[in-house]
Structure formats: structure tokens, C-alpha cells
Structure 1
Amino acid sequence: MKSLCGKYGVQGFPTIKLFPSDKQKNPYTKKIDKTPTDYNGPRSAKAIADAALALLPDTFITVLRSQADFDAFVGANDLPKAVLASSKSKPTPLYKSLSVAFKRRMAFAVVKDNAEAIEKLGVTSFPSLVVMSADGDKLVYDGPFKVRGLAEFLSKHAAEAPAKDADTAQGKAKTDPDTDAEADDGKDKVVPQAVQDLTFEDLDKITNEEDPWLLAFFHDEMGAKCSTALKKFNEVIAELGPLIKAGQVNITSEEGADKAKAYGVSADELKTSDCKLDIVLANYDEKGDAEDWQHFTGEISVKDLQKFALEAFPSFVTRITAATMQPFLGPDPTVPCVILFTDKDATPPVFAALSVNLRKYKYKFADAHSSDAALMSQFNIKKVPTMVITHLKPGTEEEAAKEGKLGLQQYPGPLKAAPPGGEGDDSFMDSIGAAQAAAAPIEVPQAASNADLRTQCVEQSGLCVLALLDAADANHEKQLGVVRDVGGRWKKQPLHFSWGRFLSAFGLSKSDIPTVVTFSPKKLRGAQLNGAFSAEGIHKLLDGLFSGRIHSSPFQELPELVDGGEDESQIEEPIEEEFDLADILGEEVSSTGSKEELLKKVEEELKEEERRQAEAAEAKAASEKKKGGKKKKKKRMSKAAKEEL
């Protein structure tokens, strides 16, 4: 069990790891394995199931958008074809799971808004599943759309499983599943689909993202002319690993040719060639200007494409020294910093690319030269290149500041995008990405009604954390950002964050916000932030509740929010009784004499009290001295009596 946890980076319990359906080949170790991701969502059956279903790939499903796509799909190979006529915009998880299960026995496609293709299928309602045999016969599935019935139907009409699959199913595989040596002989090699099919709507979304992309634009009316070039492009992207995302865009239509101009792509140049790919690096800087995206002009190879991408990336890395290290870390030591110690005068391209790829997580990246002996000694660096991550557990800032210490985690592997490693080692991107995800801010939804509060918190297991904020406050976004950051650092705990402006439900007034209240729907206990609204204050509240240093208070029933917002004019602000000290003194003075007389009397009383205390102290000291003398005399008499005897 220990070795298994070490292999997949399990450091605590409970931990949920999600494994994809397909294995992927590490280009360095040549091992084929499934790389898991951490599940950090709500601990409910539906949420976990949704996260698992989201991992199902749609790479084995062809989307038929035109008659040309339909004809190309039918004539692509001799496998039986399964075509789903659907009104949904994306393939369902059920259909994706079937395409994975029968991926080598049947070709899968989905058709939507394609009248000619639907007419050829002979269906009149949605959803409808049609199987087309190699002879052209069409069989329409007439049973319920449940997994068992669909699987039995497809199994009857699918091709026989390849010999390798059959042997594996019977436990007779001749190859090592870790090395998959047989798959490396070039005969049965299966390259995972790493390149996504994109539309121009997808491109609009990508433009607004921060992740860098390699995009291959091509012109192919029949859908088969560029198959070889696109296959090679996919193989290269698969070899590049997690360094960059990739997509391919067909600009065959007249509308597509016009839209391609906005990305600096000429449809006329792509038409003149049998098949030419215009490969573009998108989102490699902060400008977001598609016309300035760089175009690749070299040979389609791992080496050339990687060099092209790395050289185009800007650097979000700061060069630091022993003198500038503290200002670089900044006022918030809980923000993780990645520091590379190197003997290079310039930032290594892979490290610069990493800073671009992961900048959305708000990590800070820096590099330091090995000639800075003071900084090397401070971080206990013995060799270069070495990368360390500085971090602090939320709530420990004051303790760390007193001790002058930072939490350090040294990355043990080589500086590569997907480094080789022994069993249990993650790639460079995975190692940083896991830590990044652990620190990334979360989305904090608004609880605008009781239904929202039930969905976001009450129906979940754990503790509700509700930030009471005023949306009209000029600092509202900043305050909400504080809650998002805090939530990001507590995402491994069963906490559910939301925000709203509901005061009477918690017995508060307008002068009490912004603040945070926590409550347990199961135990009917809660607590409120005591002090100023700040990240440190909220960290202390949560840490105190989990450690037991802060005790929650019971309440009779769950808070009820007023749907649509409450009438705050009816909420009474606490009224503090105002008084004038002079009035009180005046009343006392009027009954005892003038102010001067009163002050003189008070001074005399104070002096008299001091005199009495001094006399009492002298008397006590004399008494103790007298008692001590008697004891000594008695002792001497006793000694004299003893001598007489």
C-alpha cells in the first residue's frame, strides 16, 4: 500500500484520484501508463461521478458537420459504422464510453443539423442510433438508450476484436503492460489523439484564454487530403507532452476562409498545395492580438516545433539575488514561489515556457545565478540546476516571521517538460501543476436565495463558510478576491464557500459587514469572524475551528434567507446611549460644592490613603523583624542549656 501511495503521490486520506480511460506514452521513459489527476471537488456521489464522466474522451467520435464529412467517414475504413443522430451539442458520456469500449471494433460518429446525412440514415426522431455494415446495410436500434441494451446491440454488429485485444482479455498478453514493447515495434502502435478539432467559435474562446496553443489551419474539402499531414502533426504533439495544447481548424468554407484572415492565415495559400498546414502559436504573450501570432515555417518535427514554441514564449521569470530575494517574495508569504538556481546567464527556455503555461495559477517564478554564493547558501543549494518551491501553510505567517523561516520543497528531477523518472515520479509539469492547483483560488458563488444556500452548502457534507458582503461596496471585488484566495488554500478540507448579503438571518446589522460566518448544517453550530475582514483573519478562524482552539456556538435551526433580498431598512442598528461626562460631574458638583473644592477634597483623600498605606507597611516590617529576633534568642538559650547539661 505504501509503494502504491508513493507511486501516485498520495500524501493523506481521504484522497480521490481520477484515472483517464486511455494510457499515454511517456516520450522519455517509453512507458505507457494512466496518469491520474487529483479530485478536489465536493465529496458527493453526483459531483464525483460528474468529474469521472468528464474524463471520458470524445477522440473516437467523428462529428459530421457536412455531407462531405459524412461521405469521408463512410469510406474511411472497412469497420462497421455507428452513427448517432442527436439534438445535443456534444456527445453524451454514455456514447463516449461506448466509443472507448468498441474503439477497435467499430467507428463512431455523431450527426447534428445535417439534413442530408440524417435523410441518408433514414431516421425521423432524436436520438436515433444507426449501425452501417461494410456492405452498406443500415440497422436502427429500437431499444431503450441504456448501457446494457446498447452494448449488446453494438456487440452483435461490431467487428471481431483484434488478436492482441482478445489475448489480453483472456489474460494471455505477451507484452509487459508497463513497457508495452510490442506496441513499440511500429505495427500496432496507437498514438493518443492529442490534437483537438476546433471551430471558429472555439478559437474565440481560446483567444480569451491564457494557455498557449499550437493551431494547425488546413484546407480540405473532402476530409481525406490532409489526413496524413494531420496524423503526423498529432504524433508530434503527443511527443511534446503537456508543454502545450494543440488544435486543428478546417477553413474550407467561404466563411471559414474569411474568418481565417483575422488570424493571419491565407486560405488561397493553403488551397494551392496538396495539403499544407499553417501552424500558428497562439496566446504566447499577454497582448492577445491574433494578427501578431507567430507562424511556424520549419519541418514538422518534435525538435523544430518545440524550439519554435520555446523561443517564442516570453519570460515571466524574475532574476533575483540575495539582496532582492525578500522584495520578490512580497508581503504575502503564502503565495508559492518557484525559484530555479542555474549557471545560465539567461532563463532556460523550458522554465520560461513553464512560467507562461502556469501563470493563471498566480505562482511567482524567479531564477538565480549560481555565482550568488549568499543566496545559494541561504537555500542550501549544492548543485545546479536545482528548483525549489517556497510556501507557507495558511495561518502560520506570524510564526514563520518570528523564526525567519520559509517552507521549502526541492524538486528532485531534471529540468524537462516531461522528465524521466523512477516509479512514483511525476513529470515536471505535473509536480508543479499539482502544487499550483492546491493554491489556486476557487470560484465563490453567490447565495441569493434559500435554494442557492441549500445547493451550495446545506446539502453538502462539511462546513458552510458564508461571506457577508455588500455588492455596492467599492471594495467588493477585492473582498470577494480575499475569500476566493482563502478558499483555494483550504480546498482539501470539507468547506463550502459562498457569499451574500443576509444580515437578519445571522442577527447582524449593516455595520457588521464585511464579515464571515461559518455553520455546520448537521451539528447546528456556527462561529463568526472576530476582528477585521482579512485573509489572515479568516485563516485563523478556520484553523481555530479545525484545531479546536475556537469553539462554535449552538443555534436552534438553520439560517433562513429572505428570497430576493431582505428589507434592510427594517434592521435596527445597535443604539449606543450618548452622555456628557460634564453633565455627570456637574450633577455631583452641584450637590457637594464647587469643582475646585471637589478636586481639593479628592487630593486630600488620596494623600491620606497613601499615608495609611505607608504606616501599615512600616508596622508590618517592624513586626516581622521583632519575630525574627525572638527566634534567634530562643535558639541561643537552647544551646546554653545544652552546654550546662
Structure 2
Amino acid sequence: MRAGVAAALLLACLASAQALYSSKDNVVTLTEKNFDELVHQGDAVVAVEFYAPWCGHCKALAPHWKKVATNLAGMAVVGAVDCDDKGNARLCASHEIQSFPTIKIFGAQKTKNPYTGAITRVGELFWGTRTAKPIVDAVIGAMTDQHIRHLKTSEELAAFRGGSEVSKVVLLTEKAETTALYKALSMQLHAGLDFAQVYLPLGKEVAAALEVEGPYPALLVIKAEGGGVERYEGELKAPALLDFLAGFSDKAKASSSDKKKEQAKAGGKEKPDKVKTLSWEEAVGLDAKEDMALLALLAGGSEACAEAEKAFRAAAADMQEVVAAAVVHVEGAQLEQAARYGADVASIAGEAGEGKCAQRVVLLPFGAEKAELDDYAVYSGGALEGKALQAWVTAAMPAFTTEVTPHNLQYFLSATAPIKPRSGDDDDDEDDEELGADALGKPMPPKLLLFTNKDEAPGVYKALALNFRQHSQKGVAFGWVRAGDDDNKGIVANMKPRTIPGLMMMIPMPQQLPNGQIQFQMGGQHYHGPLKYNSIAQWVEGMLSLLGQMAGVKPGADVEVPELAGDADLQAHCVDKGAGVCIIGLMDPASGHHASAAAALKAVAGKRAGEPLHFSTLDARKYRSFLSALGVLASDTPTVVALSASRMRYAAMPTKLGASDGGAAGEAVLDKFVDGVLGGRVRTQPLQELPRLVAGEGDAPGGSSGFGGSDHGDAGEADSGQCTMPPPGATPGSSCGGGGEEGSNAVAEPVEDEFDLSDIMSEEVSGEAALSNEEKLRRIEEQLKEEEAAAKKAAKKSKKKSKKKKSSKKKGGEDGEL
């Protein structure tokens, strides 16, 4: 009988298992064969839904997904991958798809695997409401204007027109911000066209030079052949604009192909041009600023200097962003003033007078009032080449780095004020004691340590230290260690860098002593990305920002613990804050232990301020479905759960909070629980989806859903549930409508895991971007094997489970039914 029911159910599911999208929709069918070409090799932003045809939540999303595709036609690629198709099994596994639907958005950033040469884009998971508008907003948010130059003057226009041999697209608009439509066009067509924008209140001079009058916005194409200007007169819709502009891009194919070859050599993506064009007055104004700057002085006119300017921009892009670079066109009386930079005015005037372009590349020194310093340098290294130019620039940079040895390691790590650059052999400990003595009561600022085999700090590292010097006033410092030096073997052994060369950040962790004093210990966070200036700078900026948020309140301070009152609060407090663990007090104001529980939670929150923890409370009586999703009964409250939204794991405290001898005992119990969670001694359980926080949903089936969705019920509203991927060899039968004990969302066996600080923080800064597809797939296959082995082990134990366990499975099976 049971077999017959199962067979009937399976047949019903298979009958409904058909593709959700057809050729009539604007949704692109993505497969193992075309995914790389359309997603990784393409230039447009791509939104991908990974789905299974039998999944009810996928069916609910389908009309919204079709609407997204229609709204973004011509602006982005909206595709779908059928993970139920065996031909897409490796593709879905490589993207770690474990439930349906899963939405990923692939933005502009591409990476090149140094070993395989494969070009990939890393997709960002979409966590918002699964209706058209939030998804469209997320796709638009991934668009960039990095291929669009902003013009204000006729000189900038002339430089833009002479910059390359392709046709130019110019948008004249009364809007200050770049629209999503223009961003999308520039991203898709930048390989064969150059794009610029003119904000009319600031660019009237450009409009006059182009002889353009309203109405606005006005889209112009400056043709590669002959330089004629053609104005677009059609409707301002993406498909029509693409057709119009693609015609000019096709005419520029010959020059565009060279550009693509350069792009391939550069790692598969065109490097954005961040070289500014400055007027003479703006260039002179740089003398009063402290920052270094690299200037290309061009004399001879825009047309004559077009090639020289192009070569400088290319070299500046190749040398990374170690210093700000700009082009300055010099003419007339300005030639005489060029002598201030140490340039030979006579030779410049002579070359310009012969109709040639006179180019001098000048490095402005570090420090304000540069004219008084009189330390300008003129490049004399021959043809402009990125690496040579970068070496020349970084060699002139002052040292804001410290060589670290066993003699000054403690001084370096414990300093709470600016560190004076000095030799690692300096044994003078006078300053060490002064700067590090108060580490018991003050947090030690983070320190960066580079382990290298070189005998001096690399130029890129010097540039990082220089450009992040504003943080040095807070004690942030850049140190480096000669990893091959025998005297430093102890440092290398203790710090355990991942690689040589390798970079890590030492992070202060506060701990409150029994006497009430705060002690800080340093823990290391490794950098996992490429050792390139831009990548490291982005990581350092993100880490310092995160640490700044964590250090907002001193440990032991009187802090407010907010009360969560819905999905929006939960999203803001536990998801949007990124790294960290959310500690949520499930409170019952009617309980006799409520006051002591609230006091204990507030005391621990104050004592542990500065750690990656976010404390909050909620009224457990109002949110029964939230408790149910986390396996907590109403009779268990007041209690606490620890939730990691990024790791999709949670742990519930096994005892009531404040139930014993008042606040002090409750505080000790909570403190021990938090320590256990962070140290991996408390078991955590996986979440198939993040539970919702909707009042009055306690008796409703399927109360656990993803963030941001509206209530289920009315057709067309957001559906935020998930269908779990069946295990290998299993059918999706139970996910097609069945529940109960064999439902698709049965509570999994507890898995030993930990919310370790290094894991929590590395999720924000490392990720999988640097891994090849092959490496990702290998890891996923290993993980699947481990999970399969664990499932077999769990199956053997299932017969011995108590009635309480069976009840827990039934409760879990109700959530997310199809």
C-alpha cells in the first residue's frame, strides 16, 4: 500500500517536472555548455536562477523572474539553470547549489586563475524579497560606470576624442548621476566604443563645442571614420539603443580587436581608466596637498599629443593605483611655469614648436607646500611601461613601514600610537614601554604583517602604508618580516603565514578579567587574495571598517540591547551587519525570570562589546514560528539562540536564562554559552533557510521562510520558501507536496561546527574568488562525499532516536512545504 502511494506521488511529480521557461520568455536558458560564454566571458551583469521544475517555490518565482527579464531586456542577461537536468549537475555543484530557487547576480568584476588562465566572475547570492522590483534593483546595483568618462571642459573633450581610434558615445544630460541604462550600455559595448557623459550644469563648454542644443538628454556618436557627429533620435529604450550603437561598434571592429588582445593579456578585463585630466590651475593646486601625484605634462596640442596621452594612460593603468595620476595639457605662458617641476622649458618649447608632442612625466613629492620642498622628479626611464614606472614611483615613496624582528615585535604589536619607522635591529625599548604599557586597558590597534623573502619592503607595500597613513594616528601600522632570516624563524613559526610572501592582519580581541579590567590579545587574520595593490587595499579598507564597527563601544560599557519587531529589524541586525554572530534573547515578559534574564543579557552584551557579536531581544510570545524554526518551545523561554546568517547555522542555549539564582548566575550561564559557541564547544545545527520574524504566525504552517518576503497566500505575492535538493540517487517525491516525517526539510543531525573568529571575519574578506573552478569542484565533491558518509551514519542511529526526536522531525517537515 505504502509503495503504491509513493509510486503515485512520484508519477504526479514527474508529470509536473517540466521546464519553467520557454523560448517565448526573455529568460535565457543557461546550461553547462553556454554558461561560461554568457556569464563568465560576457560583459553585461547577469542574474541567474538555479531551479528545479518540481519545486513549488520555483514555480511561484517564475512569473516574477519573467517580469525581471522583460524589464531588463537589453540591459542585463536574465537566465535560469535547470539543476534537475543531469547535464547541469556539475554546473550546479560548482556553484554550491543546495536548495531551490537560488538566485545569484554576477557583476562586472572578473578574475583570472593564474594556473589555468580561466576567466570567471563570482556570483553574489540574492537574499531579498523574491518579487520583480527588489531583484531588478539588485541587478541595477551591480552595474558600474567604470567605462564612462565625465567631461567638463573642451580640453577634456578633445583628449577624449583623440584617445583611441574607435567611435565615441557622448551623453549630455541634466542629471548628475549616471543612469542604469547608460551604465548597462557602456558595460556591454565598451570593447568597441568609448563612452563619456556630460553633466550640463558643469559642462556647458562641452555642449557648445559639440554644437548641441536641447532637448536633453541627448545621445551623440562621434564617428571613428571622419569624426562626424550623429545624434540618436529614437526611443530611449535599451534594445533600440543597443541596435543603434552596435552599428558603430561593428565599424570599429579592426581597432577593437587590438583592444581585446590587450584586454586578454591584462587578465580578461579592460582596466578602467582612472587617470584624470587636469587644468593647469588644478595641477598647480596639488602643491598644497600632502599626497604624491604623477603628472604627464603635454605640450603641442590635443591632436599631436593623442598617442602620447594614450601611452601614458595605459602605463598608469598597468602600474596599479599606487599613486594618483593625471594628464595636464600645457600651452602658452604655462610653458615657462613648467620649469617649477624641473623640466627643460627650452626643449619642451622646441619640440612643441616643430609640431611634435612634448611629454614630460613628473612625480610630485610627498608633503604639503611642495614648491618649498623642491623635490620634483622627471621620469627618464625611456619608453613608458607600467612596471618600470611603478618601480620608479614607489622607490621615491617615504617609508611608513617597519621591519619587524624579535627585538621589536612586542613594541610593534602593542603600540597604541603612531609607530616611528625604524630598523628592526633597534634595541631601544624606551618607546616600547611607553607605547605598549597600557595594553591592559586600551585596545591595541590592528597591525599588518607582510612575510617576504626580499631584503626590503616591496614597493606595493610601501604604497599601501603611505596611502593608509591616516590610520597610523590610531596606531594602525604596516610591518614586514624577512621570512628567510634565521633570526626570524620564531616569528614565522608562531604567526604561521599561509604562504611566503603572505600578508596577515593582527586583530585585538578584548577579554574582561575577574577584577573587571579589560585585557586585549592579538589574533591573526590571513589575507587570501592576490598580492596586488588594489586587491589588498580593498581588503584592508574592509577589515578596518569592520573593526571600527566592532569597536564602537568599549567592553564593560552600558549598552542598549535592541528589541526586534519584524523581518526588517532581523535583516538589519543579523544580516546586513555582515560578519559576526547574532545573539538573540527569546524573552517572555510574563515570566517571573524576565527581569533577571534581561539584566543578564544586557550585562554580557556590555562586557563583550567589541567582539563580533550582535545582541538583541524579541518577545517570544509574538513569534512562535521563529521559535519553531529554531527548535525552541515556548516553555523553554526565556532563553538565547546564537545565529550566523552568513554561515546558515544556529545554536540554542539548553537552559533557561536567569532561571536560577538571579542575574549573576544567568550572566555566568550566558557567558559560558557564548564562549562555547565562539570556541566550537557548543554544537550548532544547519539552517535550510533563514527564519522569518512575523508576528501572529505561530499556528500557520510553513512559517519559516526567507527574509523579506510577504505572507504566502494571494497569487502573485512573494514566495520566499526553499526546496531542498534531494540527496544523490533520491527522487524529489517528498518535496512535491509531502510533509511529515519524510518531508524535505526534516531537521538534520547536529553537526560539530564553530563560529570561530577567523572564520567569521574571513567570510567578509576572502571568499572563493581566487579559486579556480576545478578547485571549487574538487572541494564540493569532497564535501558531498563527507555528507553522504554522515547521512549513512545518521541512518544507522535513527532507529534509536527518542520520541522527542521524531516530534522534532515532524515539526521541521512542516516548514517550506511545496
TM-score by length of 1: 0.52
Q: Indicate how the Cα distance of structure 1 residues 380 and 396 shifts in structure 2: closer, same or farther if over 3 A, else same.
A: same
What displacement does 1:95 show? 2.5
Aligned counterparts of 1:381 and 1:194: Cα–Cα separation in 2? 38
Counterpart of 1:125 in structure 2 is: 215
Q: RMSD across aligned C-alpha pairs, in angstroms?
A: 6.3
Aligned counterparts of 2:208 and 2:397: Cα–Cα separation in 1? 45
Q: Indicate how the Cα distance of structure 1 residues 532 and 315 shifts in structure 2: closer, same or farther if over 3 A, else same.
A: farther
What secondary structure sits across from 1:372 in the alignment? helix
Contact 2:581 2:613 in 1 (8 A): no
What displacement does 1:244 show? 4.0
Q: Indicate how the Cα distance of structure 1 residues 352 and 440 shifts in structure 2: closer, same or farther if over 3 A, else same.
A: same
What displacement does 1:163 show? 8.0
The one-letter amino acid paired with 2:361 is: I
Q: Indicate how the Cα distance of structure 1 residues 335 and 535 shifts in structure 2: closer, same or farther if over 3 A, else same.
A: farther
Correspondent of 1:58 among 147, 150, 158: 147
Indicate the structure (1 or 2) with the bigger Cα radius of gyration.
Answer: 1
Q: Indicate how the Cα distance of structure 1 residues 532 and 3 shifts in structure 2: closer, same or farther if over 3 A, else same.
A: same
Matches within 5 A, 1:139-154: 139-154=230-245
What secondary structure sits across from 1:94 in the alignment? helix
Q: Indicate how the Cα distance of structure 1 residues 281 and 131 shifts in structure 2: closer, same or farther if over 3 A, else same.
A: closer
Confirm or deny that 1:275 pairs with 2:275.
Answer: no
Counterpart of 1:437 in structure 2 is: 541
What secondary structure sits across from 1:237 in the alignment? helix
Confirm or deny that 1:339 pairs with 2:446.
Answer: no
Report Cα offsets for 1:578-637 as digits up to 9, x if no partner.
xxxxxxxxxxxxxxxxxxxxxxxxxxxxxxxxxxxxxxxxxxxxxxxxxxxxxxxxxxxx
Matches within 5 A, 1:464-613: 491-492=578-579, 530=602, 537=609, 539=611, 542=614, 547=642
Aligned counterparts of 2:340 and 2:538: Cα–Cα separation in 1? 36
Counterpart of 1:611 in structure 2 is: none
Aligned counterparts of 2:138 and 2:363: Cα–Cα separation in 1? 35
Matches within 5 A, 1:178-197: 192-197=271-276
Counterpart of 1:228 in structure 2 is: 307
Aligned counterparts of 2:657 and 2:283: Cα–Cα separation in 1? 52
Counterpart of 2:413 in structure 1 is: 329
What secondary structure sits across from 2:214 in the alignment? coil
Matches within 5 A, 1:87-126: 87-89=174-176, 91-103=178-190, 105-106=192-193, 108-111=195-198, 112=200, 113-114=203-204, 117-118=207-208, 121=211, 123-126=213-216
Correspondent of 1:311 among 377, 385, 395: 395
Contact 2:275 2:313 in 1 (8 A): no
Q: Indicate how the Cα distance of structure 1 residues 37 and 397 shifts in structure 2: closer, same or farther if over 3 A, else same.
A: farther
What displacement does 1:440 show? 1.8
Matched residue count = 460
Contact 1:183 1:190 in 2 (8 A): yes
Counterpart of 2:477 in structure 1 is: 364
What displacement does 1:393 show? 7.5
What displacement does 1:83 show? 3.8
What secondary structure sits across from 2:325 in the alignment? strand
Aligned counterparts of 1:39 and 1:199: Cα–Cα separation in 2? 40
Q: Indicate how the Cα distance of structure 1 residues 205 and 464 shifts in structure 2: closer, same or farther if over 3 A, else same.
A: farther
Correspondent of 2:369 among 283, 286, 289: 289
What secondary structure sits across from 1:126 in the alignment? coil
What displacement does 1:132 show? 5.8
Aligned counterparts of 2:159 and 2:262: Cα–Cα separation in 1? 33
Report Cα offsets for 1:395-429 as digits up to 9, x if no partner.
56879x999974335668xxxxxxxxxxxx62344
Contact 1:463 1:494 in 2 (8 A): no
Higher deviation after alignment, 244-253 or 307-316: 244-253
What displacement does 1:197 show? 2.7
Report Cα offsets for 1:122-146 as digits up to 9, x if no partner.
5332212244665787654344433
Aligned counterparts of 2:330 and 2:566: Cα–Cα separation in 1? 49
Contact 1:99 1:108 in 2 (8 A): yes
Counterpart of 2:318 in structure 1 is: 239
What displacement does 1:311 show? 1.4
Contact 2:153 2:206 in 1 (8 A): no
Report Cα offsets for 1:161-210 as digits up to 9, x if no partner.
738999xxxxxxxxxx9xx79966x9xx9964544233359769988988
The one-letter amino acid paired with 1:433 is: A
Contact 1:264 1:290 in 2 (8 A): no
Report Cα offsets for 1:483-522 as digits up to 9, x if no partner.
xxxx9x9553699xxxxxxxxxxxxxxxxxxxxx9999xx
The one-letter amino acid paired with 1:65 is: T
Q: Indicate how the Cα distance of structure 1 residues 437 and 339 shifts in structure 2: closer, same or farther if over 3 A, else same.
A: same
The one-letter amino acid paired with 2:146 is: P
Report Cα offsets for 1:297-324 as digits up to 9, x if no partner.
3123345422321211111222333343
Q: Indicate how the Cα distance of structure 1 residues 127 and 303 shifts in structure 2: closer, same or farther if over 3 A, else same.
A: closer
Q: Which runs of 5+ in 2 are unaligned?
A: 1-87, 415-438, 550-564, 588-593, 618-640, 643-651, 659-692, 696-818
Counterpart of 1:353 in structure 2 is: 463
Aligned counterparts of 1:269 and 1:276: Cα–Cα separation in 2? 8
Contact 1:237 1:302 in 2 (8 A): yes
What secondary structure sits across from 2:304 in the alignment? coil
The one-letter amino acid paired with 1:372 is: D
TM-score by length of 2: 0.43
Report Cα offsets for 1:547-590 as digits up to 9, x if no partner.
377989x9x9xxxxxxxxxxxxxxxxxxxxxxxxxxxxxxxxxx
What secondary structure sits across from 2:449 in the alignment? strand
Aligned counterparts of 1:150 and 1:163: Cα–Cα separation in 2? 22
Higher-RCO chain (CA-CA 8 Å, sequence separation at least 6): 2
Aligned counterparts of 1:531 and 1:202: Cα–Cα separation in 2? 55
